[in-house]
Amino acid sequence: MREKFISSLKSFWPEFHKRKQNIHLDPFYTFKDYWYLWTMSIFILAVTALIPLCIVTLIHYQLIQKSVDSELNLRTERLTSNAKRSIAFFMEERLNALIFTVDEMGYEQLADNEKLAEILKNLKHGFGGLSDLSVFDMDGNQVAYAGPFNLKGKNYKSQPWFAQGLKNKYFISEVFTGYREVPHIIIAVRSVKKDGSIFILRATLDTERLMQTLSSYKIGSHVDIFLVNHKGVLQTPSIHYGNIFIQTDLEILTYSMRTEVNMATCQGHPVISGHSFISTDTLTTPFIIVVNKHKADLMQGWLEFRQNINWTVGISIFIIVIVITFASTFMINKLYHVDKAKAETMLQMEQNQQLASIGQLAAGVAHEINNPLAVINQTAGYVKDLFSFKEEPRNDAEIVENIDSILDAVDRCATITKQLLGFVRQFDIKIKKVSLQKIVSEVLSFHKKEAEYRGINVTVSIPDTIPDMETDSGKLQQILVNLINNAFQAVDEGCCLDIIGSQLDKETIEIVIQDTGCGIPDENLAKIHEPFFSTKQEKMGTGLGLSITYGLVRKLGGNISVHSTEGIGTSFTITLPVKISERELA
């Protein structure tokens, strides 16, 4: 049984591939051609058979996904709208009760503590959710209070809600702690005394009743329903964001009376988020109701169904690929056998031709090598004859002069090479004494010809009194290279570049590099040290030069600043310590 299974598997592998070490192929069909034909036949047949299957599967996925998403969004919108109506009714019912109380009772009865306590008792019995009642005059003095807290004699003129209460006919506050240090909501109703002065009736809503109303709409552990204000601060506890007064990362959309549903992320997980402003034609509140449903939990049934579809499609694809592979292998093997005899004959002819070609190539190579050997032989003899004609070539002034010129050129090349190697070396931490004048001179030596050609006036003002610096010379060189290169790119012909060095105190040296170039626009000054920011679009600037320069200056314990006026010029000011230790540099 095992041998039959292995034999059946081997039949799928092309015969020409099994014998590829012994295949003699004709000029028209190589081993790669057979391999290409075999793979392409499998590919074309597979694409022809599998593309319709995959397209139908994808369309099926999309239709079901669209249907599921639409249903989930509709349910979320319905849940959010229902919860919004309940909260709005909760608020509106108690607001209307307060408005009715103010209109019917008047200031004289409401200012009586005993009468106010009786009114509170009736309101609690009729509506519930109220903690206390207070009456305030227009100066913020509490003239009457009924409730469990010790708030008598308090003045609320400085409270934000009181100022809003004086401006509006009614006002509903956000959740806050206030004097009682307990989270609560205030509903304030403004009214007028008989003498024309203003007073305010305030009721406090218990947030527990509000949270109970929200909890009644939770239909599973995957649903998180809570209130936030217009700044995204929690007004009721949330399962995922935490307790009240925590700032969330929710994206608050513009005000709308409609319920909005969109896709969002909560702690890295995709959620279906519905939110609605709790406001009606007769009620305005600072609250937004948010309903978050974890999509993974909602999609569990669909995912299981999709997994079954995937298994079915996967098995079908596997069977189709096996059948196609067998058919392609059979056809290509037949083609291989048909061409094999022809290939062997052609191979013999090819070998003969190769031998002839090798003979022609050998003759040509010998002829080509003979020419340069003859030139080398003649040139060497000529040099030998020159020395034979002169008995004392060592005293020949012309030879000595030319040799000196060669040596001078070699020395010059060595100097330039040494300088270049110094600039391209790695930035290892290496503290040593360096001369600022010498480093500036070395950097400018690379721009000497460019300055002369473009007529750029370069002046260096570094007093001899400036002491040598104990710093990383490589990093200092790189700083000056970057800034001077930028200056040369910014200036036009006939402009000026000034490099000024000075000692601010015993421990600090200042370097100023200023030019009379194009300058930097004000809107770009704050961005020049940002990585990849560049204004050299036509020159393909990377935007890393000044960013690297800023980092190097900071590593050397210094600071860099820039002042620029567009059309006048730019000035970079660097302050560096005279001495820095390797520990500080690290």
In angstroms, the Cα distances linking 107 to 195, 236, 404, 568 are: 11, 34, 115, 73
How much is the average pLDDT of 211-217?
A: 85
Secondary structure class of 193 (helix, strand, coil):
coil
- In whole angstroms, what is the distance from residue 192 CA to residue 201 CA? 11
- In whole angstroms, what is the distance from residue 436 CA to residue 425 CA? 19
Q: In which residue are the tokens 């999609």 written?
A: 299
Looking at per-residue pLDDT, the higher value among 310 and 526 belongs to: 310
**CB-based contact 447:440 (threshold 8 Å):** no
Helix H or strand E encompassing 80:
helix 31-110
Secondary structure class of 546 (helix, strand, coil):
helix
Which of 557, 560, 537, 558 minimizes the C-alpha distance to 547?
560
pLDDT at 240: 86
Give tens-digit pLDDT for 461-474.
888 888 888 888 77
CB-based burial label for 265 (10 Å; 0-12, 13-18, 19+)? exposed
- In whole angstroms, what is the distance from residue 209 CA to residue 131 CA? 11
Looking at per-residue pLDDT, the higher value among 498 and 492 belongs to: 498
DSSP string, 328-380: HHHHHHHHHHHHHHHHHHHHHHHHHHHHHHHHHHHHHHHHHHHHHHHHHHHHH
Helix H or strand E encompassing 289:
strand 284-294
The pLDDT confidence band at residue 201, using thresholds 50, 70 and 90, is: very high
- In whole angstroms, what is the distance from residue 454 CA to residue 6 CA? 80
The pLDDT confidence band at residue 512, using thresholds 50, 70 and 90, is: very high
- In whole angstroms, what is the distance from residue 499 CA to residue 478 CA? 15
pLDDT at 60: 78
40-70 burial code (b ≥16 CB/10 A, e <16): ebbeebbeebbeeeeeebeeeeeeeeeebbe
Per-chain mean pLDDT for the chain: 76
In angstroms, the Cα distances linking 315 to 312, 319, 320 are: 5, 6, 9
Which of 562, 358, 558 minimizes the C-alpha distance to 475?
558
DSSP string, 40-53: HHHHHHHHHHHHHH
Say yes or no to pLDDT of 546 above 80: no
Range name among 95-104, 106-115, 523-532 with the lowest pLDDT average: 523-532
Give tens-digit pLDDT for 281-295.
888 899 999 998 887
The pLDDT confidence band at residue 527, using thresholds 50, 70 and 90, is: low
Question: Is the four-CA dihedral 117, 120, 124, 128 of positive or negative sign?
Answer: negative
Say yes or no to pLDDT of 255 above 90: no
The set of residues, in sequence order, having a beta carbon less than 8 Å from that of 516 and lying 6+ positions away, is: 491, 495, 496, 497, 568, 569
pLDDT at 356: 38
- In whole angstroms, what is the distance from residue 249 CA to residue 95 CA? 31
Report helix angle 31-110 to 113-126, nearest 10: 140
